[in-house]
Amino acid sequence: MGCALSGPGVTPEPTFDVEKRGSFVEGGLDLSKETECGENPEWLSLLESQKALIRESWKILHKDIARVGVIVFIRLFETHPECKDVFFLFRDIDDLQQLKMSKELQAHGLRVMSFIEKSVARLDQEDKLEQLAFELGRNHFRYKAPPKYYEYVGAQFIQAVQPILKEHWTPEVEKAWQSLFEYLAATMRRGFSTEEKTAGTGKSLSSRKACAESTPNKN
């Protein structure tokens, strides 16, 4: 997501009772199996009532999706200006008013909102939701967008949508969105780590091959 999903005062990832984990995911995931990067998968800790709150609030936000995307990133750059370094298209624009009019920023904001929309649509399909966030994390390694930025967008999204949702925003709605973004950020970090390890292995193999080819054959 570019400078994608933590925020000021990053909320620590929730810890779950192992005996209760099965209740968090319909269909369940086998805790004995490891992911491809050698870590247990994250768990989407959302009750059905929380999923309903997210869906209902998203219906309202979707009506103004382009503006929400711009607001999120303007807030992000105000609170974490170092994030702009990830975006070569507009990292040299210091005037936030000018940045609001940037076509590139608007387009990126829409891409992030599209990711959120796809995530909301997959709340009952955790395997597909996990794949979506995991692949985005892998892509962010290629974009050179460090994992420390991922939760920032989630925090700024929550701050940005409160005045839009008005009376529809409640502590329960906030908790539901926080849980979703914590899950997405953790899964993206896992995807980033996997791609980082893959790239490191590839470089190591290439180096060894180059070294072998450059070594004179003594026979």
Question: 105 CB contacts (<8 Å, ≥6 apart)?
Answer: 70, 73, 90, 99
CA 215 – CA 185 distance, rounded (Å): 45
Say if residue 39's pLDDT is above 70: no
Hey, what are 3's tokens?
């400078």
Q: For the chain, how big is the Rg over CA atoms in Å?
A: 20
What is the per-residue pLDDT for 218? Answer: 52
pLDDT interval class at 217 (50, 70, 90): low
What is the per-residue pLDDT for 40? Answer: 54
Q: What is the CATH number of domain 46-214?
A: 1.10.490.10
SS3 188: helix
Are the CB atoms for 83 and 5 separated by under 8 Å? no
What is the per-residue pLDDT for 216? Answer: 54
pLDDT interval class at 17 (50, 70, 90): very low
Residue 9 gets the label, from left (phi > 0), alpha (psi -120 to 50) or beta, of left
CA 179 – CA 174 distance, rounded (Å): 9
What is the per-residue pLDDT for 209? Answer: 53
Say if residue 51's pLDDT is above 90: yes
| Length, in residues, of the chain | 219
